[in-house]
Every structure is written in structure tokens, then in C-alpha cells.
Structure 1
Amino acid sequence: MHRLVASDTSAEKLHPSHESTGVVQMRVKSANSPYDRHSQSKSMILSDNPKVIEPISRHRRNHSQHNLTLSEFISPLEQMVIKEGYLLKAKIADGGKKLRKNWTSSWLVLTGQKIEFYKESKQPAVANLKAGYKPEWADLCGAHIEWTKEKSSKKNVFQITTASGNEVLLQSDIDFIILDWFNAIKNAIDRLPKEKSNMSRNNEFKIPRSSSSELMSSFEAESKEPKAENRRSLIFRLNYSISDTTDRNRVKSRLKKFINRRPSLKTLQEKGIIKDQVFGSSLHKVCEYDGSTVPKFVKMCIKAVEERGLDVDGIYRVSGNLAMIQKLRFVVNHEEKLNLDDSQWEDIHVVTGALKMFFRELPEPLFPYCFFEQFVEAIKIQDNNNRVKSIKDLAQKLPRPNYDTMKILFEHLQKIAAKENMNLMSHQSLGIVFGPTLLRPEKETGSMAVHLLYQNQIVELMLSEYSKIFGSEKD
């Protein structure tokens, strides 16, 4: 026994680290590194000699005493770290079963075949050293990735749907970071086969330790004719399933009759049972209902912010409590009276979040779709005077509700920028916040990052040149 220990020790001296002999080397960050927790994203550039984490080998003598898991057969490509960094994550389905959405900050590690989720950036390096630790992960083989707006009120959200029915939302407020992650994950999915092999369909597979005689005896026992009581229970289950199917068909037919008899949405609106909602309705309908060219809710939010939010650090940039924002949205849609001075709305970030959500949920943005390309072409003009004049001419061609709402909103944002020394919100910062919210193309194209740049620049220019653009109007 002492000789075996000595041989193992000498082997460790010859090979002091598993990482030094592998093709992929695990990167363990120092605890004193200032970039451990504050780095937003970190990508690994693949070199000519990619390093791979070598799986921890087991003593040959002990192989018969352990169940072999799938992790022992993972190829070096599957363990290659392509990208890692912080994102907001929300798992909304597990194996097809819907889950309650709960956003959490996670450290993502993207490899050749999967994404692993950790709470801390130091965790991936240390976790692999802990025996039995299994981080949460998503298999990319056969997965689908797409941008989604209806799943969350947050901006820059995309969804990953795995072949096993898991659904994960990922989000970041920084546009270039989320775009970089989307492209990296999509490229990883495209490199993998569309369907999973039989081995990868299971998280792990085990080699049974039963002898061949035991396997044969169990097979013979299963192949014998079932007993009389088992046959009776089988007949009972068959009869039960037939009656259950009949009941379900009866319920379906009743539901179809009820749906066919129910009144239309237009009829319910004419009778006043269902009222037009503020959020999600077109700007023209909201203004027509309010009897004004500017929505009443927009005026109320602007008034509240100017009374108690001009000096707040990060106003419009800091996100409010989403549950309270949704509650305010419900009150606006279903109640006639709204008092933003109520104590439940004392957090001004809830008011600003609801105002941004109102503009984000318009079926057509404040800058109509048909004007998007024209505004983009105008912002490309090199001469500043001609650029401002072109933007002004386009603004005055907008429908009256769009122009009047835009003028009041931009006048309000001018007051925000005037107190930049206190709230740290400049014209550029406000352009980054409101650009994608107020101005977007009808169909997303491959030049999404370029569009984001122009959207921000258009709003920033209209704020900095507000007096020239909105100073005098054409009759």
C-alpha cells in the first residue's frame, strides 16, 4: 500500500497540473483582480493552439466502482470557452413546463455545446474542483435563438429554446454587449447538429453493475404472462381511459359552442364592458379618447418628474421596480382616476419606467415607421445646418399627435439635461435611453447595431438643437 502511494506522489511530481497538459487551460482569476466582479463581458480569442480543460482522470482500478457519466466522454471542443460575462437571466420554462419569470444576474460561460450559469465570476474556475458540483446549464445542440419583445418589458431581450423544452431569457441594457452575445450563441448553435444524438439526449448514462445472469433472470420475469390481478387492473385502466376521453370530448364541444356564441370585441367595446387601454393602443386612439393631441398619461408623468425628479441621479436611466411599474400600468388601463402623488408611486423611477413602457408598447413608435429611413438619411448629412434643417422639415411633416407629443417630451428632456451636473444625464445619455424607444425600423435587419447608433444620434441632435427644430412651426 505504501508503494502505491509513493508511485502516485511521484506521478504528481512529473505532472503537477492537469491544466498544463490539456489542450484547453482553465482560467482562474485572482481574488485580488479588480476586474473579477466589475467586468461586463469577456471573450476569448481562439488561437492556433486552443487550450482545453482536460477531464480529471480516475485510477483504472476504480473504474468498476463508479457509474460512468456523460461528462467523461465530452470532446475538447465542447469544453472550449468561447465567451464569458455577466447578463440578466430568467428561466421561463423547464422541460415545456412554464415557470414564473425571475430575473437574476448570472455569470455566463459559453462553450462549444452549452451555456453554463453561475452566480459569481470566480465560480466556474473553483466549481470544477468541487466533486459533484453541477451548475445550471443549457444544451445548445438543437436549440433555437430569437429576439423577443412580448416576453418582457425590458429592452434587448432574446430567448434560447433548447431541444428538451427549456426556455431562457437573456438581457442587457448595453446594446453592443447583448448583440455580441446573441451573435456568439447563434454561431455556436449553427456549428452544432440540428438533432441531438442518442447519447446527448440524456444528461448522463450509467453502465449497470448487474451480472449477465441477473439481467437474463429479470428479462425472463418481465416476459412471463401477467397474473390475473394484473390483467384485471389493465382492463380497468383501459375502461377508465376510454371514459376519460369521452368526457374530454364533451368538454371540448361545450367550449366550442361557448366560443361561437360569445360577443365580439367590438360589441363589448360599444357596450362599454371593455374600454380601450392606454398601454398598447395607438397614439391616435389614445389622443382621441383623451380629447387632446398629447396623451393625458404622458402629461401626468412629465409633471410628476419635473416636480420631484429633475435632481435625481440617473433619472430615466435607472430602472424602477418592475412589479410596481406593472401595477401602475394596470391602474392606468382599468381605472379612470390616477394620482401620481399617491405614496405608492413615490419612487420616481417607477413613473419614468411606466412612461418609457408606454412609448415602447405603442404599435407604431413616436417616429412612424414610414419616416425611419428619412430620419436616418437626414442624420447622415455632414453639414450641421443642413442636417438640422432636414430634421426640422421631417418633424413638421409628422401627424399632429406625434409632433405635439414629441415636442412636449423633448422639451421635458431638455430640462433634464439642463441639470446634468446633478442627475448626470446629458443629451448623449438621454439619446441612448430614448433612441431605441422612440425610433425603430418596422423590420429588424442585419444592421441592427448601425440602426442603434443612428437612433441615438437622432434623439441627441433633436435635444441639442431643440430651439431650432421646434422653435417655429409651419402653419
Structure 2
Amino acid sequence: MHQLASSDISAEKLHPSHESTGAIQMRLKSANSPHDRHSQTKSMILSDNLKVTEPISRHRRNHSQHNLTLPEFISPLEQTVIKEGYLLKARIADGGKKLRKNWTSSWLVLTGRKIEFYKESKQPAVANLKAGYKPEWVDLSGAHIECTKEKSSKKNVFQITTVSGNEVLLQSDIDFIIMGWFHAIKNAIDRLPKEKSNMSRKNEVKITRSSSSELLSSFDADSKELKPENRRSLIFRLNYSISDTTDRNRVKSRLKKFITRRPSLKTLQEKGIIKDQVFGSHLHRVCERDGSTVPQFVKICIKTIEKRGLDVDGIYRVSGNLATIQKLRFVVNQEEKLNLDDSQWEDIHVVTGALKMFFRELPEPLFPYCFFEQFVEAIKIQDENDRVKSVKGLVQKLPRPNYDTMKILFEHLKKIAAKENVNLMTPQSLGIVFGPTLLRSEKEMRSMAVDMLYQNQLVELMLSEYTKIFNFEKD
């Protein structure tokens, strides 16, 4: 009895030190001998919200010696599930070490203190723990959350940075879902205690020793916008932003030297290293490159269409596959040998689409901008003979590449219209297709509806009066 009383007194004397150091010391009975006692000491760190406020009675202490387990000391805030659902996740840093970005779909479980990541949504906490699976998780204590557009080309991306150097990107294409997650995680971070962890203290010391001047200057610059709850995460961000800034400055310096030493586009073109592309270049440049007054690409397309497309229903009106048209465009621009009889170009609508794209992408249309108003005024003339004479006079004033290309194109379109009973493409239909492509105003403020009317009428007139307009004999 005396020995038991002394042990009780010693245990009660330990209680004040427990309050000051946050540790619990207790004695356990040996399972082998009820009479012998083996001294054992267990220490557990208690959080601030679990401080002991009053002495524990002898009966209560003895009871706790047999039932004390770790889960009793886990905060209810940490166990409560606040939000869960699917998001895209990419871990880009682990302990400050940059990782390769790899987006994966994950089931997120947000509690009061951390986020856990699972592959499936079927009771992840229970099912995975039974299988011995330990999920990935992110500690939100002292973490920093922010929206970012620089880390990914995806929309609706935000980043979580922890005090231990982990960085995670989360994303969803649905706006209200990602906003709900952002606010839920931010609120969870704001509710956590604002004490600094050991890791944040180490980072703070490390920064202070290596570059205290940079830390102070950066802190002064950000102090006006920094919230009190995010000051701890600033220490970590500064630690890793210093090296990132140095790398960026080094890359910028190298790029600047490369750009200043790089020859100009004009010099590269004069040396023949870079040649003008077929699509998107001025008509006279393409003709100079081909050594002709008509682009070679236009000749090849017209020849192919007349060979196997005159009888096709809706020729020029029906659109071809855009991906295949872009592929054909790439082949032509890369100066690869073009064979439109190849099976990949068997759809004639792809060839007609590429030809229309060529004329549509000319920086200045086939009817030059400076002639636009004159052609519009000519088409407004009421007398038919005077209208044809006026249009003919303007056509013969065009630059040689424009005139020759126009003559070949309208001769081709005239053959299309001659078989309108088969392909259902009348001069009016061809005018609707080619009018806005061949004739357009440089000023965007004009009435598009009025311009379209004159554009269509001009193409129809040139098809119906082709022989008169392109005859050099004076009337």
C-alpha cells in the first residue's frame, strides 16, 4: 500500500510538467505478472486545442491507463469530410524538387486538415484502408492556395503549395465546380492554427542565412498585399522563387543575345534560307517564286478539278474535310512534291476547298483593294453594254499576275457553269461562293450586305460576258 501511494503521489506531481511540456507520462502493468510493474514512458504531443484544464482523479487516471489510444487525440476537425469529388490533379513539386507534370483524374476527399487523393469514389477511406492502401495526401496546415495561368494551358487551374515544398495543381473545365473547391480549400486553410511548423522555421533560417537582403526586399514589396494567414507560406515561396528568378534571368539573357544576333527575315529571304510560303503570301511573290504570272498551285488545282470534278454535284459549294485541306496546305507550303492524284486527295471537295483557301488567304485579294470602289461603281451602271465596257477597262488595268490568274480562273468557272444541269452550280451560285473571296473592301466599316450584292453581281457578269471582258480588241 505504501508503494502504491507513493506511485500515485509521483504521478500527480508529473501533472504540472505535463501542462508545460505537452507530454503525458504513465505507468502500465505488465501482462505477465500482476505484482511486478515495469516502468514505461510514452510521450504524445498535444495540439493547443487539447490542453488539460483540471487535475485527473485517481480513478480516472487508472481507467485511462487501459483505454488510452491514439485516435482519442485526433482532432474532430481532421476527421470530418468537408467536400469530395473528382478533379484533375498534377503534382509538380515534391519537397521543393520539381516534377514532370502529369494530369490524372482523382477522387478528392477534403477534411479539416488535409486533402486525400484516391483513384475511385467508392468509400475510399474504408475500402483502401482495409486493403492496406495509403493514399496520397496534402497537409493544408500553413499551405498557400492561388489561381495560376502560367503553370498550365488548361483553364480553371489553381495551385496548392505546402510548407514542406509540395506543389499540386487542381483543375476542372466546369467553372462552378472548381470555384466551389477553391473556396472550400481556402476556408479549410484559414481555419487551421497559424503556428509555424518546424519545416517553415528551417526554411526561414535557411533563407535568412543565404540571402537576407533579398528576403527583406521581397517581403517589403509584398507586405501590402499579404494576408496574415499566408505569411508562413511566404517563407517557403521565397525560398524556391529565388532560384527560379535566377534561372529566368539567365534564360532571358540568352534569348536576348540570340535575338540580337539572329539575321533579319529579309536577309534570310535574300539568301534563300527562308522562302515565301504559297498560302498567305502576296500573289506577285508567289508568281515570282514559280517563274510564272499564274501560281503553279492554281494551275494544278484547276487541271485536277476539270479532270474529275466538273460533273460533281455542288462542286465548290460543298465543303471538304478541313483537316485534310490543312494537310494539303502544309504539303504545299513545305515545298513537298504535290500529286493531287494521290489517294489521300481523292475527295475533289478537298481540292476545291484548298483552292478557295488560297484566294481567301491572299493578303490582298485577286481584285486589288485600290480597284474595289471602281468595280462597285462599274457594276452599278444601268446600261448593260456600258457596264461590260467599264468592267473590261478596269480588268485590263490590273497587274499582270492578277489579270492572268483571273483569266484562267474565270475560264475554269465558266466550264463549271456550262454543266449546271449536272453539278447544279449556276453563275449565280458561283457568284455567291467566289464573290466575297475575290473582291472585298479594305475598310471593315462598310455594309457587308450591300458589298456582297455587288460582289456576287460582278462574278456573274464576268462569267456571262467572259469573252467580251477578256478580249483585248477595242470595242
User: TM-score if structure 1 supplies the norm length?
Assistant: 0.53
Q: Decide which moves more: 328-337 or 373-382.
A: 328-337
Q: Which residue in the other structure is 1:362 paired with?
A: 362
User: Equivalents in 1 of 2:241, 2:447: separation in Å?
Assistant: 55
CA shift in 2, pair 1:202/1:450, >3 Å: same
Amino acid at match of 1:434: F
Contact in 2 for aligned 1:396/1:473 (Cα 8 Å):
no
CA contact (8 A) 2:281 2:363 kept: yes
Give the aligned partner of residue 306 of structure 2: 306
Instruction: Give the CA deviation at 1:227.
Output: 3.3
Contact between 1:287 and 1:294, CA under 8 Å: does it hold in 2?
Answer: yes
1:23-172 matches, cutoff 5 A: none
Q: Name the Cα RMSD after superposition.
A: 2.8
Report what 2:196 is aligned to.
226
Residue 239 and residue 221 in structure 1: after superposition, are their counterparts in 2 closer, same or farther (change >3 A)?
closer
- After superposition, give the CA deviation of every residue in 1:33-54 in whole Å (9 maximum; x if it has no partner): xxxxxxxxxxxxxxxxxxxxxx
Q: Which residue of structure 1 lines up, in the alignment, with residue 282 of structure 2?
A: 282
Question: Which 5+ residue runs of structure 2 have no aligned equivalent?
Answer: 1-82, 84-153, 157-174, 204-232
CA distance in 2, matches of 1:326, 1:220: 54
1:443 maps to a residue whose letter is K
Cα shift readout 1:344-368 (whole Å, capped 9, x = no counterpart): 2111111111111111111110000
TM-score, reference length from structure 2: 0.53
Q: How many angstroms does 1:252 deviate by? A: 0.8
Shift of 1:335: 1.9
Q: CA deviation at 1:276?
A: 2.0
The residue that corresponds to 1:248 in the other structure is: 248
Distance in 1 (CA, whole Å) between partners of 2:189 and 2:354 is: 64
Deviations 1:436-465 (A, max 9, x none): 110000121141111111111111111111
- Give the direction of change, closer, same or farther, for the CA distance of 1:455–1:221 in structure 2 (3 Å limit): same
Q: 1:248 to 1:384 in 2, by over 3 A?
A: same
**Which residue of structure 2 aligns with residue 425 of structure 1?**
425
Q: 1:238 to 1:317 in 2, by over 3 A?
A: same
Cross-structure match for 2:400: 400
Q: CA deviation at 1:264?
A: 1.6
Query: Does the CA-based 8 Å contact 2:434-2:459 persist in structure 1?
Result: yes
Change (3 A) 1:296 1:229: closer
The one-letter amino acid paired with 2:199 is: E
SS at match of 2:364: coil
* Contact 1:366-1:402 at 8 Å conserved across structures: yes
Write 1 or 2 for the structure with the bigger share of helix.
Answer: 2
Contact in 1 for aligned 2:367/2:438 (Cα 8 Å): yes
What's the counterpart of residue 379 of structure 2?
379
Aligned length: 270
State the match for 2:337 in structure 1.
Answer: 337
Which whole-Å CA distance do the structure 2 matches of 1:205 and 1:269 have between them?
A: 50
Deviation per residue, 1:236-286 (Å, 9 max, x gap): 432111111111111111111111111222222233221221111111111
Shift of the alpha carbon at 1:331? 1.5
Distance 1:258 1:460 in 2: 53
Shift of 1:471: 3.0
Q: How big is the shift at 1:426?
A: 0.4
- Alpha carbons 1:331, 1:338 under 8 Å: kept: yes
Q: Which residue of 1 aligns with 2:443?
A: 443
Encode CA deviations 1:397-431: one digit per residue, 9 max, x unaligned: 11111111111100100000010011110000000
State how 1:201-216 maps to structure 2 within 5 Å: none
C-alpha separation in 2, matches of 1:262 and 1:225: 53
Q: Larger radius of gyration, structure 1 or 2?
A: 2
Q: Which deviations, in whole Å up to 9, do the C-alpha atoms of 1:11-63 show, x marking residues without a partner?
A: xxxxxxxxxxxxxxxxxxxxxxxxxxxxxxxxxxxxxxxxxxxxxxxxxxxxx
The residue number in structure 2 matching 1:467 is 467
Contact 1:396 1:474 in 2 (8 A): no
Amino acid of the residue matched to residue 419 of structure 1?
A: K
Q: Supply the distance in 2 between the matched residues of 1:463 and 1:254 (Cα, whole angstroms).
A: 58
In the other structure, the counterpart of 2:260 is 260
Q: What amino acid is aligned across from residue 455 of structure 1 in structure 2?
A: Q
Asked if the contact 1:414–1:463 (Cα under 8 Å) also holds between the matched residues in 2, the reply is: yes
Instruction: Report the Cα distance in structure 1 between the residues aligned to 2:285 and 2:278, rounded to whole angstroms.
Output: 9
Deviations 1:188-214, CA, capped at 9 Å, x for gaps: xxxxxxxxxxxxx978988xxx9xxxx
CA-to-aligned-CA distance 1:292-320 (integer Å, 9 cap, x gap): 21111111111100000000011111111
Determine whether 1:320 maps to 2:320.
yes
Q: 1:472 to 1:326 in 2, by over 3 A?
A: same
**What is the one-letter code of the residue matched to 2:458?**
I
1:453–1:232 Cα change, 3 Å: farther
SS at match of 1:398: coil
Cα 1:220–1:439 change in 2 (3 A) is: closer
- What percent identity do the matched residue pairs reach? 80
Task: Kindly state the Cα deviation for residue 387 of structure 1 after the two structures are TM-superposed.
Answer: 1.2
SS in 2 for 1:449: helix
Corresponding residue for residue 75 of structure 1: none
Q: Which runs of 5+ in 1 are unaligned?
A: 1-66, 68-163, 167-200
**CA gap 1:381/1:286 in 2 versus in 1, 3 angstroms:** same
Say if 1:473 and 1:406 are closer, same or farther in 2 by CA, change over 3 A.
farther
Q: Is residue 200–residue 236 contact of structure 2 (8 Å, CA) maintained in 1? A: no
How many angstroms does 1:229 deviate by?
A: 3.4
State how far apart, in whole Å, the 1-side matches of 2:189 and 2:304 are. 75
SS state of the match for residue 277, structure 1? coil
